[in-house]
Structure 1
Amino acid sequence: MSDPISALVLGIIEGITEFLPVSSTGHLLIAQHWLGARSDFFNIVIQAGAIVAITLVYRQRIWDLSTGLRERENRDYAMKIAVAFLVTALVGLPVRLAGWELPETVTPIAWALIIGGVWMLVAEHFAEKRGDNAHVTWTVAIAVGLGQVVAGVFPGTSRSAMTIFLAMLLGLSRRSAAAEFAFLVGIPTMFAASAYAFLELWRDQGLGEEAWGDVAIAFLAAMVTGFLVVKWLLAYIKRHRFTGFAIYRIVLGAGLLLLMPSGT
């Protein structure tokens, strides 16, 4: 497969999986086993494309929050987003500085996919017994912040799955409300993580000789695909459960363990 086509495929995979509860990092690591490993800079850029996509989807909500802070409800919601982000930063940064790295085999990703799929089924079952609550509590905000760290440390877990279902289990039982809060918290988190990773590469002179055409293709593919997928997902979860995603994770994880028992 040519490099531009490979870049396009990876960008589409990032755009599809970044916000679906199936793990974008896990899917990219799996895909790069076949399509060839890409630089850290390439991976940062395609994630940035997905961030731009989710920002565009929620542009009106972000504008309303930022211009309506005089209203108590908006101020309270914005503060909870900030707290969730700070929890992620305060816990996640030491993990990063301790030398954490992505796994080199797919075995831990496969197990994370399976365990995460089971977790989703159990979490949604119990969350539905809590009624239809759309209020974000401080407990939910802190849990979402911690959930982002867990998802970052264990590729295959899925940031969206971990944060959405933690929010639902802790009382934010309406799926659309849980997804909105998780995604809004994810915007500053992913911007900060991408900027930090970029600065690390720049400091270590690790940007290297990039194929800028491939980078641009992947960025645009991730942005356009991510925008369409999020719009679809927000409409889908208003009428459907997350069961299909959970089953997909379990089947994919089991398939990887069967087809690649050594992890490579």
Structure 2
Amino acid sequence: MSDLFSALLLGLIEGVTEFLPISSTGHLLIAQHWLGARSDLFNIVIQAGAILAITLVFRQRLWSLATNLRDPDNRDYLFKIATAFAVTALVGLPVRLAGWELPETVTPVATALILGGIWMLIAERVAARRPESARITWTVAILVGLAQVVAGVFPGTSRSAAAIFMAMLAGTGHRAAATEFVFLVGIPTMFAASGYALLEHVLESGTGGEAWGELGAAFVAASVTGFVVVRWLLGYIKRHSYAPFAIYRIVLGAALLLLLPAGG
């Protein structure tokens, strides 16, 4: 397999999995076991492609939030996005500074995929019994911020899954409203995380030795694929639950544990 094709494939995987509740980090770790490990810079840049995609999807919503600051409901929503981001930053940054790193084995990722799938099925059932509400409360905002930290510490958890289902359990029973809030919170969160990781990488290792053509192709692949997937997902959740994604996680995690040697 050529290096360009494997780079494109990794970009496609990032674009497909970043915003689906199936864990992009977990899928990239698994894929790179077969396609070959890539640099931290590569992983940062293709994630930036996914961030660009979701920013374009929500461009009208973002513009409306930014230009209607006199509307109290608008301000309230923005403050809650800022609160969720602040919680993630204040709790997550010390974890990062403490030297936490992603595991290099698939086993913990597979375990997190299974446990996350079970959690999603339980959360769907619990949330379905509660009155449906599209309101984002301060409790929801704080718990979404904490959920993003948990997802960052345990690869395979999925940032979107952890945060969306936390929002649904904390009071936002409306699946579409919870998903939109989590995605909007994810824009500053992921920009900040990617920017910090990029600065850290450049200061420590520089940018030499990178295959920029392959990196550019992977960035475009992640952006285009991410845009299509997010647009599809926003329509899908209006009529369907997240249960199929939970089942996929459980099946994939079990297959990895069965097919790979311990710690493989």
Same fold (TM over 0.5): yes
How many corresponding residue pairs?
Answer: 264
Q: Tell me how large the CA RMSD over aligned residues is.
A: 0.6
CA positional deviation for 1:208? 2.9
Partner residue in 1 for 2:18: 18
Partner residue in 2 for 1:28: 28
Q: Which amino acid aligns with 1:230?
A: V
Once the two structures are superposed, the pairs formed by residues 25-64 of structure 1 within 5 Å of their partners are 25-64=25-64
User: 3-state DSSP class of the match of 2:205?
Assistant: coil
Partner residue in 2 for 1:164: 164
Partner residue in 1 for 2:87: 87
User: 3-state DSSP class of the match of 1:152?
Assistant: helix
Return the alpha-carbon distance in structure 1 between the equivalents of residues 181 and 130 of structure 2: 18
Q: Which amino acid aligns with 1:181?
A: F
Q: Which amino acid aligns with 1:44?
A: I
Partner residue in 1 for 2:138: 138
Percentage of pairs with the same residue: 73
What stretches of structure 2 of length at least 5 have no aligned partner? none
Bigger mean CA offset, 125-134 vs 43-52: 125-134
Q: Which amino acid aligns with 2:176?
A: S
Return the alpha-carbon distance in structure 1 between the equivalents of residues 206 and 37 of structure 2: 15
Return the alpha-carbon distance in structure 1 between the equivalents of residues 206 and 247 of structure 2: 39
Q: Which amino acid aligns with 2:120?
A: M
CA positional deviation for 1:207? 2.6
Normalised to the residue count of structure 1, the TM-score between the two structures is 0.99
Q: Which amino acid aligns with 1:260?
A: L
What stretches of structure 1 of length at least 5 have no aligned partner? none
CA positional deviation for 1:214? 0.4
CA positional deviation for 1:130? 1.2
Normalised to the residue count of structure 2, the TM-score between the two structures is 0.99
Partner residue in 2 for 1:150: 150
Partner residue in 1 for 2:71: 71
CA positional deviation for 1:261? 2.9
Q: Is the 8 A contact 1:257 1:263 kept in 2?
A: no
Return the alpha-carbon distance in structure 1 between the equivalents of residues 208 and 246 of structure 2: 38
**Runs of 4+ residues over 2 Å off in structure 1:** 205-208
Alignment deviations for residues 133-157 of structure 1 (CA, whole Å, 9 cap, x no partner): 0000000000000000000000000
Partner residue in 2 for 1:125: 125
Return the alpha-carbon distance in structure 2 between the equivalents of residues 233 and 156 of structure 1: 20
